[in-house]
Structure 1
Amino acid sequence: MRVLFSIFPNRAHLYPVVPLAWALQNQGHEVRIAAHPEMNDTIARTGLTALPFGDTEEMRWASQLNTDPDKVRELTELINSLSLRCVPGEPWHDQWLGVIATLSASVPALDGLIECCRQWEPDLVLWDPLFASAPVAARVCGAAHARLLWGQDNIGWMWERFVERDPRTTPEAVAGTVDWLFAPMLEGRGLEFEPELMTGQWTVDPRPDRWRAPTSFDRLPMRWVPFNGGGHVEDWVRQPPSRPRVLLSLGVGGRGRQLSERSGRSWNEIVGRLSELDIELVVTMAADDVAGEPPANVRVVEYVPLTQVLPSCSAVIHHGGDGTALAAGVHGVPQVVAPVPLWCEERVAEHIADQGAGLVVPPDSATGDALADAVSRVLGEPRFAAGAGAFQKEIECQPAPHEVVPALEQRVTRYRR
């Protein structure tokens, strides 16, 4: 069968789909990644084939988030309105409005995506939850379609609350959002809104069972397999560390700046305090962001794939993103999480702590002393290594991407129009 992945044009949204895309391709299926043309080279470096479309200003803006700090700063207000824990009684109206605004960025690209689908005729469209035009394009061309999650299902969780909302307490701005988003995409195409346009005909979820948001959708579980791009292994990564190696990684998108602002501490202060521990500290950040010469036991690298460095690490400090937390889980590495809210980071931190796989340092309290104390504890107390090992086994119990392919084939037979 032909499988089209439709992604939000950003590296952080591409990498989570790569293991399943390769699993499908290795079992004889044809695979394409539909995305903004600026993603062509990044997709090609994964060994997959890009299907470029949607050269709109909205999508170009999104694709530049990887490289343009000014674009990241523009996201600050929106970022603060998207974070959820997905727990009973949690307010969601503001987050819903923020998500709808984000989803609307893909609307101008719909015609281009429909043209791609009509030309290539996919049997299945696996779409990013933030790319709202993908299920519409799938409906137009008759393909089966499903969401492929890269994090907590905030949208699905909020959708169920939207459907069950009390009109007396729901702001008018929230009540009309679905019509506002989908009417321009459905008009003139003979389509009517169905819930599957928001939540997929089913959902592929690569998060551990206990991490999943409580929803009632048809969920196809899949193991998280880390992918961080290709490249070669640096000499220092291959060398066994002479002391415990600790990775300080805050992902992409300005999380380090946000953490520094919230804690009121500069990066030099934080790194300097951590360097006083008997560890080898690997810090992933641009060299320009570090003032002066780093201490002898600190290595500053702009980027190193997590899959390369984590196997040699004794601990990792991070911002609470799914990609880093689950990659550390795959390798059984204890974690120190200073959650910087963007999507579900606070909930990720709670999961790590509940599983005994690490400690949480609130971002407002993430001083050098607090982080150093947490690192000392996860290195010195055996229970954290045991908790990380248990978390690793839990991840391994999920079906691998290649084991999910038969279930996808069955669902395509059921849903293809």
Structure 2
Amino acid sequence: MRVLFVSFPAAAHVYPMVPLAWSLQAQCHQVRVAVHPSMAHEVGQSGLNAVAFGSCENERMQAMLEFNANLHDLEELDNDLAIRGFEPDEPWHQAWLTLVGALSLHTPDLDELVRLCRDWKPDLVLWDPLCIQAAVAAEATGTPHGRLLWGQDNVGWIWERFSRRENTGDMIIEGSLDWMMAPMLEPYGLEFSETQILGEFSIDQRPADWRIPTEIDYLPMRWAPYNGGAVTQDWATTAPERPRVVMTFGTSGRGRMLFQVSGSSFEDTVRALCELDIELVVTLDKTKPIENPPENLRIVDYVPLSQILPTCSVIINHAGEGSVMTAGVHEVPQLLCPVPNWGEHNVARGVAATGNGLVLGAEEFTPEKAKQAVARLLTEPGFRAGAARFHQELRSLPYPVELVPLLEERVRQHQRRTG
């Protein structure tokens, strides 16, 4: 069968699609990944066929890409999607409007995606939860489709709040769904369906205990790390003489804002950590050089976590799913320093519950506290045991290859229904 993946243009969205796409290709299915031109090269490097769609003429998408690359702009990022508890009575109104803005980013590119589906005729479309135009394109061409989640299902949670609301009396709230969907649906004579927001099914790569409360039925899948291709570096794969600690806060998003939000200094933090008998590896883009760096410090632009983590004793990260799950696969205890944006606080809560690590939020972060936390992670055996438990929890989920027959059956069911 032919399977079309559609991704939002960011590495944190593209990379979680790769293992399932590989599994499909390995069983002789044809796979293509539709993505904005800015990420097409990354897709190609993964060994998958990229189809670039969208253009620089989509000014809102271009503005979003530039915004996410600018640390100064990220300081102004609204926290409306950083919903802490996801309780039934929690405020959702502004979060819904913010989400509507994000979901409508690809609207100008819908026609191009529909043409792709008509020309290539995929048997299945799997789409990023921020790419609802893929669902519309699939329904416009009679193709079954589902979401492939890369993190916490905020879209599902907020949609349930919106869809079950009583009339709010707010004209903006009440008219928001039509504002978002009508420009996509009317040209193709489609009626609105909840599947255009939630898919016909949803694949979740996170432990079931981490899910926020929704009534959505998820297909579980094990997280298989993919961090981009890179030439293996000898130092990264050689066992160090002292415990290796890696500190990374992602290549995009709010994780990079830890030091601005906490008021702590990156350099002071690095120097405090280097007072421990460790080798500290820091992977932060655009980091200013440190004068007279400690001899046990190594700063690199980028190294795939799946390459370095087998030789690490601790990882310090921002509670992003990609970092946390990859560390779990390699049984590495974690110090989580979340700067909330999407679901980082709930990820941190889940890790802490397994005994797999410690949490030091931005509001309490200091270099000395980070040093003390790492010292505990290195010396208290309970954290290594917690990392082993987390590893086993991840192993209990189905491998990506095990989902292939389930997806094949869904396509067959669709074909039987449609004749």
TM bucket (normalised to shorter chain) is: over 0.9
* SS at 2:4 equivalent: strand
**Alpha-carbon distance in structure 1 between the residues aligned to 2:258 and 2:74:** 15
**Alpha-carbon distance in structure 1 between the residues aligned to 2:49 and 2:380:** 46
Instruction: Give 1:9's aligned residue.
Output: 9
* SS at 2:302 equivalent: coil
Is the 2:273–2:371 Cα contact (8 Å) retained in structure 1? Answer: yes
**Alpha-carbon distance in structure 1 between the residues aligned to 2:184 and 2:143:** 17
Query: 1:36/1:254 Cα in 2 relative to 1: closer, same or farther (>3 Å)?
Result: closer
Instruction: Give 2:369's aligned residue.
Output: 370
Given residue 80 of structure 2, which amino acid in structure 1 is its aligned partner?
A: S
Instruction: Give 1:105's aligned residue.
Output: 105
Q: Give the C-alpha shift of residue 306 in structure 1.
A: 0.6
- 2:57 counterpart of 1:58: no
Given residue 393 of structure 2, which amino acid in structure 1 is its aligned partner?
A: E
Is the 1:6–1:128 Cα contact (8 Å) retained in structure 2? Answer: yes
- The TM-score with structure 1 as length reference comes to 0.95
Q: Give the C-alpha shift of residue 261 in structure 1.
A: 1.4
Trace 1:25-174 onto structure 2 (pairs within 5 A).
25-55=25-55, 56-63=58-65, 68-69=69-70, 73-85=72-84, 86-168=86-168, 171-174=170-173
Is the 1:39–1:63 Cα contact (8 Å) retained in structure 2? Answer: no
**Alpha-carbon distance in structure 1 between the residues aligned to 2:30 and 2:102:** 30
* SS at 2:363 equivalent: helix
Is the 2:4–2:34 Cα contact (8 Å) retained in structure 1? Answer: yes
Q: Give the C-alpha shift of residue 63 in structure 1.
A: 4.8
**Alpha-carbon distance in structure 1 between the residues aligned to 2:292 and 2:233:** 21
- 2:234 counterpart of 1:235: yes
* SS at 1:220 equivalent: strand
With 391-400 and 272-281 compared, the bigger mean Cα shift is at 272-281
CA offset digits 1:10-30 (Å, max 9, x no partner) = 122110000000001111110
Q: Give the C-alpha shift of residue 252 in structure 1.
A: 1.5
Trace 1:308-323 onto structure 2 (pairs within 5 A).
308-323=307-322
- 2:402 counterpart of 1:403: yes
Q: Give the C-alpha shift of residue 365 in structure 1.
A: 1.4
**Alpha-carbon distance in structure 1 between the residues aligned to 2:88 and 2:357:** 25
CA offset digits 1:252-299 (Å, max 9, x no partner) = 126455211121111001111111111111100246423313211111
Query: 1:115/1:185 Cα in 2 relative to 1: closer, same or farther (>3 Å)?
Result: same
Q: Give the C-alpha shift of residue 78 in structure 1.
A: 4.1
- Show structure 1 runs of 5+ residues with no match: none
* SS at 1:403 equivalent: helix
Query: 1:402/1:64 Cα in 2 relative to 1: closer, same or farther (>3 Å)?
Result: farther
**Identity across matched positions, percent:** 49
Query: 1:290/1:266 Cα in 2 relative to 1: closer, same or farther (>3 Å)?
Result: farther
Is the 2:206–2:221 Cα contact (8 Å) retained in structure 1? Answer: yes
Given residue 52 of structure 1, which amino acid in structure 2 is its aligned partner?
A: A
- The TM-score with structure 2 as length reference comes to 0.95
- Show structure 2 runs of 5+ residues with no match: none
**Alpha-carbon distance in structure 2 between the residues aligned to 1:401 and 1:95:** 32
CA offset digits 1:319-359 (Å, max 9, x no partner) = 11011011111111111111111100011111111111111
CA offset digits 1:218-243 (Å, max 9, x no partner) = 31110011100111111211221111
**Alpha-carbon distance in structure 2 between the residues aligned to 1:405 and 1:61:** 37
